Amino acid sequence: MTALTATYRTPRTGPLGAVAATVIVAAVVLAAIGPALSPVDPNASDFAQAYGAPGPGHPLGYDGQGRDLLARLLTGARTSLLGPLWVVALSVTAGTAVAIAAAWLGGWLDSVVSAVLEVVFAFPGVLLAMLVAAVFGPGLTSAVLALAVAYVPYIARLVRGAALVERRKPYIQALEVQGLGAVAICLRHLVPNLMPLIAAQATLFFGYAMVDLAIVSFFGLGVQPPGADWGVMVAGGQSGVLQGYPAESLLAGGCIVLLVVAFNVLGERLSGGRPRPWRLFRRGGTA
C-alpha cells in the first residue's frame, strides 16, 4: 500500500476562521516588530507622567508608574504568546508520544498509562502551576512546565482514542505484513494521519494555556514585575481602575480575550465543529 488517505481531513475554516487566523497572525507580527513600532523602554518609569493621557509618541498613554502602555502591550505580547507556545509544544509532544505507545502496545502499558493520566487529569492546571511556583519559586519557566504536565492527559486521551481506531485499520495490518517496523509505521503513517486532529486540539489548547498563564501571572507567580506581561498588566492596573484609570487593565485584558477567542474559533473550525466562544473556560468535551 503506497498511498494512504488521512483519516481526519482538515475542514475549510470559512470566513470566521479566516478572521480568527488573521487576528492571530497580526498579533504574532506585532509581537515580533514591537520594538520598531514603539522603541520606548517598556520598563522606564516617569512618575510625573503617571496615568498620563495619550500624546505624540505615546498613543495609549501611561500606566500608574509612568510607563508607556503601548510599549508594554507590545513587549507583553511576546511572553503572552511564547509561554502558551511552549506549553502546547511540550504537552502535545509528550501526550502524543504516550498515547501512541499505549495504543500501539496495549495490554498492561495501556492500563498503566490510562491510570496515571486519570490521576494527573484530576489536577487543575492553574492549581498545579501555583503549587510548583510555591515550591520552586515564581517564574514563567515553572508555570510553563507545570501547565505542560497538566495538559498532557487532555492531549493523550484524545490522541489515544483516535490512535486505537487507526491501529485497527487494514492499511496498518498491510504495512506490518510488509515487514515495516512499529516505529516506522507510527512515524511515517499513523502520526501523519492523526496530525489534523492534533493540530486542531493544539490550537484550542493554545487559548486555554494563554488564559492559565495570565491567571498565574495575575497572582504574581508567573512573569515577575516589572516585566511586561498581559497578566501582570491586568493585575497592576487594578489600582488604576479604582482611581478611574482603567486603561491598563482593559487594554491587557482585551488583548487576552481577543486572542483566546481567535484561537478558540480557529480550533473549533479546524476540528470540524461550530465556533463556540462561550466555551473558552471549559475543557469538558473539546479538551
DSSP 69-103: HHHHHHHHHHHHHHHHHHHHHHHHHHHHHHHHHHH
User: For each of the chain's 287 residues, which pLDDT tens digit applies?
Assistant: 334 444 445 456 778 888 999 999 999 999 998 878 888 888 888 888 888 888 888 889 888 888 999 999 999 999 899 999 999 999 999 999 999 998 888 788 888 888 887 777 777 777 877 888 777 778 888 889 888 888 888 888 889 888 888 888 888 888 888 877 888 888 888 888 888 889 989 999 999 999 999 988 888 888 887 888 899 899 888 888 888 889 999 999 999 999 999 999 998 888 765 444 333 334 443 33
Under a CB-based contact definition with an 8 Å cutoff, are residues 205 and 125 in contact? no
Instruction: Kindly state the greatest CA–CA separation across the chain.
Output: 77
C-alpha cell recorded at residue 81? 504568546
